[in-house]
Amino acid sequence: METVVVIVGAGPAGLATSVCLNQHSIPNVILEKEDIYASLWKKRAYDRLKLHLAKEFCQLPFMPHGRDVPTFMPKELFVNYLDAYVSRFDINPRYNRTVKSSTFDESNNKWRVEAENTVTGETEVYLSEFLVVATGENGDGNIPMVKGIETFPGEILHSSGYKSGRDFKDKNVLVVGGGNSGMEICFDLCNFGANTTVLIRTPRHVVTKEVIHLGMSLLKYVPVTMVDTLVTTMAKILYGDLSKYGLFRPKQGPFATKLSTGKAPVIDVGTVQKIRGGEIQVINGGIGSINGKTLTFENGLEQDFDAIVFATGYKSSVCNWLEDYEYVMKKDGFPKTPMPKHWKGEKNLYCAGFSRKGIAGAAEDAMSVADDIRSILATIKK
């Protein structure tokens, strides 16, 4: 099949890119390996998830949220929004298409994308002038290799497979990772009566969603350094010194850290209060080894657990199928060009949803990619 643009991935970035291209009447096809769009939101999000960012930072092009939508949406409302978006703009991804390879054919200056139809088992070939990688930052769940992990008799799962703490009542559960997912899962486990411990390796800023909302709004007009100073000061007033509880702040400000490393500040949902009250234990460092139910930590502490939840992030899977990834990506599957031109590669290769700015970043990328493709096509027609 031939088309002008092939988009790989039907998450928010892929959906938004298709809509933006359609606004310019540019033919495009979305290939999605799952049987549904936005699978991260529909299949891999835990039950109590609530968007930490205000609604104006969680909307896609040409469809802002209504006035009746709360500032901070629960997962269900955002999923409903995505459903309405797909319906309103009549987006029809090709589901159950797992892209196996994608190469640039120098002989005809087109991208050749081979995808397996996992329903029929057939291999489908797509040729396009432009290719957009929209598989997002959250590709494959990352579970680090730990000595002796194969001996652990309890349940081991990645945060993407975690749904609720209701099955962990009275169990000793270790959550590995002190980012937003890890801290919120700790809160959920504790609420369901699990004996909860969180393992935190690196310092993280802890703030409230209201403070982050203020900071993100100010960033439109004020330099990052000034916003970081304000946000950090407000966090210190709200929480005081949390180091005695094992929660340490980075030296760099929260927004500067996000831009340079991709690590977002922790938006507290009530976890800090439970840590202060001794309901959630904090261990700093990493896991040294596992021997059956007994985990030995790098600080020498030994403790038994019934389950381990790895909230250790994701790794990009782009380089597994994009053979000519170097036109836009580094080996780690993230853009090689720094923002704000991270979305544009060589040979008409683009990426959307890799800016580490969440839904807002995906929306910005989609508009930039579509406008650039329109500009190139307009030049060719002349």
pLDDT band at 168 (very low <50, low <70, confident <90, very high): very high
User: What pLDDT was estimated at residue 50?
Assistant: 78
- Give the total number of structural domains in the chain: 2
> Cis omega before residue 70 (within 30°)?
no
Expressed as residue numbers, the domain containing 326 is 2-139+316-381
> Which pLDDT value is given to residue 317?
82
Of 121, 122, 123, 125, the residue nearest 103 (C-alpha): 125
Average confidence (pLDDT) over 231-249? 96
The pLDDT score that the predictor gives to residue 249 is: 94
Name the pLDDT band for 86 (thresholds 50, 70, 90).
very high
Q: Are 320 and 296 found together in one domain?
A: no
Q: 218 and 347: one domain?
A: no
- What span, in angstroms and rounded, lies between the C-alpha atoms of 310 and 281? 16
- The residue out of 279, 310, 341 marking a domain boundary is 310
Residue 321 and residue 302 share a domain: no
**Over 90: is that where the pLDDT of 290 sits?**
yes
Cβ atoms of 308 and 155 closer than 8 Å:
yes
Q: Are residues 134 and 148 in the same domain?
A: no
Is the predicted pLDDT of residue 303 greater than 80, yes or no? yes
Reading the block at residue 176, the tokens are: 């590995």
Question: How large is the average pLDDT for residues 284-291?
Answer: 96
Q: Identify the CA nearest to 311 among candidates 205, 154, 139, 158.
A: 158
Residues 245 and 201 in one domain: yes
Using the 3D structure, point to which of 265, 280, 310 is the last residue of a domain: 310
Q: What is the pLDDT of residue 176?
A: 98
pLDDT band at 43 (very low <50, low <70, confident <90, very high): confident
pLDDT of residue 140: 74
Do 117 and 27 lie in one domain? The reply is yes
Instruction: Give me the CATH number covering residue 44.
Output: 3.50.50.60
Residue burial 178-197, b: 16+ Cβ < 10 Å; e: rest: bbbbbbbbbbbbbbbebbbb
| Distance between CA atoms of residues 224 and 221, nearest Å | 9
As a whole number, the mean pLDDT across the chain is 94
* Predicted local distance difference test score (pLDDT) of residue 192: 97
Tell me: do 79 and 92 sit in the same domain: yes
**Same-domain status, 359 and 341:** yes
Same domain assignment for residues 22 and 61 = yes
Instruction: Return the pLDDT at 271.
Output: 97
| pLDDT at residue number 139 | 67
Q: 281, 310, 339 — which closes off a domain? A: 310
pLDDT over 90 percentage in the chain: 86
Residues 358 and 327 in one domain: yes
**Mean pLDDT throughout 74-83?**
95
Domain shared by 156 and 289, yes or no = yes
pLDDT at res. 263: 85
54 and 168 in a single domain? The answer is no
Whether 117 shows a pLDDT value over 70: the answer reads: yes
Alpha-carbon distance of 378 to 382, in angstroms, equals 7
Which has more pLDDT, 104 or 142?
Answer: 104
Question: Rg for the chain (alpha carbons), in Å?
Answer: 22
The DSSP bridge partners found for residue 176 are: 199, 310
What's the pTM? 0.87
